[in-house]
A and B are shown apart, each in its own frame.
Chain A
Amino acid sequence: KNQVEQSPQSLIILEGKNCTLQCNYTVSPFSNLRWYKQDTGRGPVSLTIMTFSENTKSNGRYTATLDADTKQSSLHITASQLSDSASYICVVSARGSTLGRLYFGRGTQLTVWP
């Protein structure tokens, strides 16, 4: 069964600190993995996309890693800011899947305190 699991479910950190969010998936055959940021009541915004051959990808203070062998990904946020408070969703797509079929994790709710 194709699944995406994220941990932790929620996380509170102080402004300026770093944090790492985890994503494990069983989606097969794997095509790519995305991390989205979703502010409350808003649509998801793509942060990074990684294919099978990519191990690391950065987007400003966001760095995603992918281990296709263990089917794990992480999102590292450096020097957190108050605006980083949001839900971070791991989304995986399968090769050859039905049009539009994406597998969503439940997200990690990150709260950054001043």
Chain B
Amino acid sequence: DTEVTQTPKHLVMGMTNKKSLKCEQHMGHRAMYWYKQKAKKPPELMFVYSYEKLSINESVPSRFSPECPNSSLLNLHLHALQPEDSALYLCASSHPMSDTQYFGPGTRLTVL
């Protein structure tokens, strides 16, 4: 299995809602990443988990809360988002000693 899956594909939420994005991989990768991508812009790194521990937080606002419950799963909990948080959220995974990242299809998030 060489695939990173993400759910849901699309999400529309209000500014007072709480929602979660999910990412899963079964390639045995022990590093997992969350990126945010705005239209016509490159992906921006948000968080990196290595061996289920948060190793990088790129000064992301606390309304985004990552969680890595096990080596195959990565969640991104969303609360009190702003309209400017609307974007494509990409998950990726890799072996910790490799910089080859495999990307998921993304979740298109719209905040109303």
Q: How far is the CA of A34 from the CA of B105 in the complex (A)?
A: 18
B79 to chain A, nearest CB (A): 24
Chain B hits for A102, CB < 8 A: 45, 99, 101
Q: Which residues of B contact A (CB under 8 A)?
A: 4, 6, 31, 33, 40-43, 45, 48, 50, 55-56, 88, 90, 92, 94, 96, 99-106, 108
Contact, CB under 8 Å: A105 / B42? yes
Q: How many residues of A contact B (CB 8 A)?
A: 24
Contact indicator B48/A46 (Cβ below 8 Å): no
Contacts A43-B4, A104-B42 supplied; 6 other A-B pairs, CB < 8 Å: A31-B99, A43-B106, A44-B43, A89-B42, A100-B99, A101-B99
Q: Which of B4, B42, B96 has the most chain A CB within a 10 Å cutoff?
A: B42
A83: interface (CB < 8 Å): no
Q: Is A93 an interface residue (CB 8 A)?
A: yes
In whole angstroms, what is the CA distance A99 to B58 when docked? Answer: 13
Proximity bits, A16-33, B CB within 8 Å = 1, else 0: 000000000000000110
Cα distance A89–B105 in the bound complex, in angstroms: 15
A36 to B31, CA, bound (A): 20
Chain A residues, Cβ within 8 Å of B31 = 99-100
Residues of A within 8 A of B (CB): 31-32, 34, 36, 41-46, 49, 89, 93, 97-102, 104-107, 109
Whether A104 pairs with B99 at a CB distance below 8 angstroms is no
Give every chain A residue within 8 A of B105 (Cβ-Cβ): 42-43
In the complex, A99 Cα to B54 Cα: how many Å?
Answer: 11
Considering the complex of A and B, which 6 residue pairs feature the smallest CB-CB distances, nearest first? A104-B42, A43-B103, A93-B99, A100-B48, A43-B105, A44-B103
| Chain B residues positioned under 8 Å from A89 (CB to CB) | 42
Q: Is the CB of B104 within 8 A of A98?
A: no
Would A46 and B45 count as touching, CB distance under 8 A? no
Chain B residues within 8 Å of A106, by CB: 40-42
Nearest to B44 among chain A residues (CB) is A104
Complex formed: what's the CA distance from A104 to B36 in Å?
A: 13
Q: Please indicate the chain B residues that have their CB under 8 angstroms from the CB of A36 in the complex.
A: 103
B23 CB, min distance to chain A CBs, angstroms:
11
